[in-house]
Amino acid sequence: MSNRREFVVQMGVGAGALAAGAAFAEAPMVAEADANASSLGYKADATKVDKTKFPKFAAGQNCGSCALFQGKAGDKAGNCPLFAGKQVASVGWCSAYAKKG
C-alpha cells in the first residue's frame, strides 16, 4: 500500500514540476504582421522604421531602451505588455516607445 501512495505523491510532484516548467517556457516572438504589431508600426529591427511615417522616431530608440520592455539589460528579446504572451526584439521598435527613466 505504501508503494501505491508513494507513486501517487510522485505523480503529483512530477505534474507540478511540468506545469512550472511550462510557465517559464520562452514566449514566442511577436510577428511584424500581427494585427496589434502592425497597428503600432512594430519592426523587429529599429533601423527599418519608416521615418516618414513615424517622424517621432529617433536614432537610439529601441525596445531595449523602452520603459515597457520587461527583459533584462543585454537580453536579445523580452516581454512587452502591449503584446501579451509574446516577446519583442530588444533592437525592435514601435510607436508606443517611451524612454526608460
What CATH number does residue 61 fall under?
4.10.490.10
How many domains does the structure of the chain reveal? 1
Inside any domain, residue 45:
yes
- The C-alpha cell of 52 is what? 516618414
Residue 62: which domain range? 27-89
CA dist., res. 2 & res. 10, Å (int): 12
The pLDDT of residue 100: 93
The pLDDT of residue 61: 97
Residue identified by cell 533584462 is: 72
The pLDDT of residue 24: 47
Mapping DSSP to helix (H, G, I), strand (E, B) and coil, where does residue 35 land? Answer: helix
Mapping DSSP to helix (H, G, I), strand (E, B) and coil, where does residue 29 land? Answer: strand
Inside any domain, residue 6:
no
Q: For residue 98, give every residue at least 6 positions away whose Cβ sits within 8 Å of its Cβ, in sequence order, or none.
A: 66, 67, 68
Residues of the chain with pLDDT under 50: 13-24
CA dist., res. 78 & res. 91, Å (int): 11
Inside any domain, residue 8:
no
